[in-house]
Amino acid sequence: MRARLLALLAPLALVLSACGINSIPTAEENAKARWADVQSQYQRRADLIPNLVNTVRGFADQERTVLTEVTEARASATRVTVSPEQLSDPEAMRAFTEAQGRLTNAIIPLQRLQENYPELRSSEQFMTLMSQLEGTENRIQIARRDYNAAVQTYNTRIRTFPDLIGARVIYGSEPLVPFEAQAGAEQAPSIDFGNRQ
């Protein structure tokens, strides 16, 4: 009796092990972890911006519009979040991308202020913050790339045989949404300090 039961369970165990029982949740958790890395880098940027704005404000009070736009964009970007449960929601991902894109675009004129204020360039604190901000932008890019790679792995796994069986039957898995650049990101932003008041 025991031998029969083992003879029946062995093929079932083999079939289940080849259906993504472990690999699908592992790939999904990896994608969620990479998304947390993306959010962490955006939070790092949001935390640096108040210090950068205050440093610049000390040197360039007349550039209040630039500083106000950066501050407002930062506040807007930190209000829009995407939880791991929303990673398969294209609308949530689009809203997040747009909010972060507005912040990125607001930072560019702030970076250009240093060209108009030589004493600002020489400020060690400003240069340190700018370096950290540049490093953060690089980290964001790497985190987004790693997230997209994890999403690609997960989405491929749930769509290919034999994991497809486990993904549909056991988990009801949905594809995750990769991070995409916002519309118009392929064009360089234009910076114009000619209309200052």
Structure tokens at 123: 């400020």
pLDDT, tens digit only, all 197 positions of the chain: 777 776 776 666 655 556 677 888 999 999 999 999 999 888 888 888 787 777 766 665 556 666 677 778 878 788 888 888 888 899 988 888 888 888 888 777 766 666 666 555 556 766 777 788 888 889 989 999 999 999 999 999 889 888 888 888 888 889 999 888 777 665 655 544 444 44
Structure tokens at 158: 């749930």
pLDDT at residue 196, rounded to an integer: 43
Q: List the chain domain ranges.
A: 23-171
pLDDT at residue 15, rounded to an integer: 57
pLDDT at residue 58, rounded to an integer: 67
Structure tokens at 193: 């300090």
CA atoms of 90 and 101, how far apart (whole Å): 16
Classify 59 as helix, strand or coil: helix
Phi, psi angle pair for 14, to nearest 5°: -65, -45
CA atoms of 152 and 131, how far apart (whole Å): 32
Q: Which class is domain 23-171?
A: mainly alpha
pLDDT at residue 188, rounded to an integer: 54
CA atoms of 165 and 161, how far apart (whole Å): 7
Cis omega before residue 162 (within 30°)? yes
CA atoms of 1 and 83, how far apart (whole Å): 50
